[in-house]
Structure 1
Amino acid sequence: MSELSFIERLLDGVEVDWVPIGKVTLRTSNIKWREVKRDYKYIDLTSVSIETKQIIETSWVSPNNAPSRAQKLVEKKDVIFATTRPTQMRYCLIGDDYHGEVASTGYCVLRARREKVLPKWILHLISTSEFKRYLEDNQSGSAYPAISDAKIKAFYIPIPCPENPEKSLQIQAEIVRILDAFTSLTAELTASLTVELTARKKQYNYYRDKLLSFEGGEVEWMSLGDIARVRRGASPRPISKYITEDESGIPWIKIGDTKPGTKFITSTAQRVTVEGSKKSRVLNPGDFVISNSMSFGRPYILAIRGAIHDGWAAISDFDEILDSSFLYHFLSSDMVSNYWASKINSGSVSNLNADIIKTLLVPVPSITEQKEIATILDKFDTLTSSITEGLPREIELRQKHYEYYRDLLLSFPKPDEQAA
């Protein structure tokens, strides 16, 4: 591909108009919860993978339990871009599975005027280095940076051949086709690695459950409430009063600060004032949190001191009896997941409360044996997670190829450059 002549040949002398994204996108609407009766898939800020630009996990919400941020209705081919911590570049194209569902107000929804612009034209343009620089220059807030929908829609994008919409869309489609080819190659390789990752996870799960079942062995089983302190989290009300950007604030640990498959919570998106932390539940490094509602039962170890949201239960003060890595692997096991499910599905409770968690029976071999088991399982866990800790070199190179040609193909001359 000729770097210097490709664009010239493709455009063949046609003009390029630079317009704000808002000029080539449609207005979107919010859901009216009082008027709906069905449940909706909810795309929150952790639903979209930063790495794959795909929706990886959603929850179901109803008019009775929808969070206040579940507002924006999305349609197939919409582009959504996360406006909180925008330089993380969390965005995706809405597919068939999420047509008519609801997204967080933390997303800007870009719905293309398809007679003027292709949805994927917008998608590739907001992935560019130029757009990321624009975000860096226009975001506000240091501890919790964000950018408004209006600022996103004020970003100028090129529209080739604006006086001939049919030819403009043909040009856009050709460039999109080339860029899609790069992303498709990366996706294929990622898919093959996913197969390998799945196999490793099955191997880890097998040995974890085998080692932690203690079949035929002599080991004492004790209620978690008897060997640890189990409490529910607490949220100061109203939370908006206590959120602060001051570095002296206490990290505010929410479900959204976690990633599936990770073991530790190392940072948070928000902080609360010291006064707010006193109305919450403050935990120390080494303590556990376990989700009690959405994705209930998922354990994490704190690597920081912080105040926890009421969506968590806290487990602490177990150091003399339980090794933290051993406890993590046990709480992650299928036998524990099945126990939580049996309690939730009994119909008597709707979430995983502290009283239920206290009843969990935990095997308590010697600390030495716990550490030996944890060391074995940590090795399997490391093998499992090694694929996801960083892109293998081939994927990284393909991604760099895509970024190079993307910026090349989309670097249309601007009006001042044309005049020069």
Structure 2
Amino acid sequence: MSQLNYLEKLLDGVEVEWKALGEVCDFKNGFAFKSSLFKEAGLPIIRITNVDGKNISLDDVKYFDPSDYKENTASYEISKGDILIAMSGATTGKIGFYAHESPAYLNQRVGKFLPKPKILNNRYLYHYLLSKVEQIYVIAGGGAQPNLSSNALMAKIEIPIPCPDNPEKSLAIQAEIVCILDAFTAMTAELTAELTAELNMRKKQYNYYREHLLSFDEGDVEWKTLGDIAEIGTGKHDTRDAIEDGEYIFYARGREPLKLNTFNFDETAIITAGDGAGVGKVYHYAQGKYALHQRAYRIVPDDSMHPRFVYHYISAYFNDYIQKASVSSSVTSLRRPMFLKFPIPVPPHSEQSRIVEILEKFETLTTSIQEGLPREIELRQKQYEYYRDLLLSFPKSHSDEAA
């Protein structure tokens, strides 16, 4: 069914009037809670960092004690179902639906929408605002310092009100649209929860079998150091050398590889960061020609070792090893001697191959779900956005356009 036909059936011939948001919705700014008076417990404060774009997160929430203020803070209370908006900073224009049972309080630079109950369905407004986040950001000035300092800026945003002369029918139509869009939202949340649970289960399985297969007693196999069985070194490039459309992979210190038009190595190697957030973690397994950052390390096993066996073993135990070997409680930088002394078991090559084959199957399962999770979420989000635009993109009358 086409967009026009679907809307005609839904509206059943009634008119749609585009109204300024200020006509159908009031707006309340937050209170200037003082950061110096934030508490570890008490009444929760919702700040711009708690507005995640769809919901209100209570992660890293701050608290206050009403007795610290002369002003009446009760009027800034937030209840379940309230729609909030971040009014400045990096999250400007982001919308959040407060779905928590316990009340919270509205901080400055966060605003609350108050839809007029006999005109505008709360969730209808919520879905509509989600479709206008980019427009609101532009209204706020965009750029490096967007700011919705004036309620009048948002008051001019237009929202379609079906059957405005018959509030009861208008609200019924809005409720039907909400029902459809909420169903897509619930489907996305359910799918995400299922895939996340599956991913966590696979990770536990993989970790269990990895721990079981890579645990060797002292007398069961020969033990050597990483320096005995591998060549270890660094690259020579800096992140600034990266080229967006370069021909070769450039492994730096982060999870995402870069590009260069030159390569330094043509080999199979395990890559780990020498400093930064990736210290002790294995992000990359290089095969073929590649370039390497000056503070990233390449580990190239000799013929006595299956490269993927070394990869799995280092992934499992190297981070714990450097944390224990360091005099610092937090390792921020690695040096070559820390690699050279890392102990590693050397079972027969056939046993290495058997272990690798098992672990590769579990890693493939885990990776496929891990990569599939964001793809599935993105697909569901696009599906939701398609129907949201279909249901909320009402054609404007000539009178609305003229206004």
**The two structures share one fold, judged by TM-score above 0.5:** yes
1:211 counterpart residue number: 213
Residue equivalent to 2:200: 198
- Structure 2 partner of 1:343: 325
With 349-358 and 364-373 compared, the bigger mean Cα shift is at 349-358
Determine if contact 2:272/2:281 at 8 Å carries over to the other structure: yes
Is 1:124 matched up with 2:130?
A: yes
> Once the 2 structures are TM-superposed, how far is the Cα of residue 361 of structure 1 from its aligned partner?
0.6
How far is 1:351 from its partner? 2.3
Aligned partner of 2:343 among 355, 358, 361: 361
Q: Is the counterpart of residue 305 in structure 1 residue 290 in structure 2?
A: yes
Alignment partner of 1:15 out of 15, 18, 23? 18
Q: Does 1:247 align with 2:221?
A: no
CA offset at residue 377 of structure 1? 1.0
* TM-score (normalizing by structure 1): 0.56
Quote how far apart the aligned CAs of 1:411 are: 2.0
Q: 1:4 aligns with which of 3, 7, 14?
A: 7
- 1:305 is paired with a residue whose SS is strand
* C-alpha distance in 1 between matches for 2:267 and 2:9: 55
CA contact (8 A) 1:249 1:273 kept: yes
Q: Which has the larger radius of gyration?
A: 2
- Cα deviations by residue, 1:285-321 (Å, 9 ceiling, x for unpaired): 63222234425322133446133263xx312332423
Residue of structure 2 in register with 1:286 after alignment: 268
Runs of 4 or more, structure 1, over 6 Å off, are 116-119, 147-151, 167-174, 392-397, 415-418
Residue aligning to 1:30: none
Q: Deviations over 1:188-223 (max 9, x none)?
A: 233233333322222221221111112376322111
Aligned to 2:389: 407
Q: CA deviation at 1:353?
A: 0.6
Whole-angstrom distance in 1 between the partners of 2:342 and 2:245? 38
TM-score (norm 2): 0.58
1:49 corresponds to which residue?
A: none
1:224 to 223, 226, 251: 226
Pairwise CA distance, 1:362:
1.0
Tell me how far apart the structure 1 counterparts of residues 255 and 272 of structure 2 sit (CA, whole Å): 13
Q: Secondary structure at the match of 1:385?
A: helix
Give me the whole-angstrom Cα distance separating, in 1, the residues matched to 2:385 and 2:193. 20
1:147-176 CA-partner distances (Å, limit 9, x unpaired): 96799x9xx985336xx9xx9999989856
Shift of 1:96: 2.1
Q: Give the SS at the match of 1:388.
A: helix
> What does residue range 5-154 of structure 1 map to in structure 2 within 5 Å?
5=8, 8=11, 13-16=16-19, 74-77=48-51, 79=53, 95-98=57-60, 109-111=92-94, 114-115=112-113, 121=127, 124-125=130-131
Q: Which amino acid is 1:225 matched to?
A: G
d(CA) in 2 for partners of 1:148, 1:348: 40
Gaps of at least 5 residues in structure 1 are 19-23, 27-34, 36-72, 80-91, 101-105, 132-146, 259-266
8 A Cα contact 1:232 1:353, kept in partner: no
> 2:7 is paired with a residue of what secondary structure?
coil
Check the 8 A contact 2:323/2:330 in 1, yes or no: no
Distance 1:407 1:204 in 2: 42
Structure 2 unaligned runs (5+)?
Answer: 22-26, 30-35, 37-46, 63-88, 96-110, 116-121, 135-141, 149-155
- Partners of 1:343 and 1:349 within 8 A in 2: no
Partner of 1:379: 361
SS in structure 1 at match of 2:292:
strand
RMSD (Å), alpha carbons: 5.4
Give % identity: 36
The letter for the 1-side match of 2:159 is: I
Alignment length, in residue pairs? 317
CA gap 1:191/1:414 in 2 versus in 1, 3 angstroms: same
| C-alpha separation in 2, matches of 1:176 and 1:182 | 10
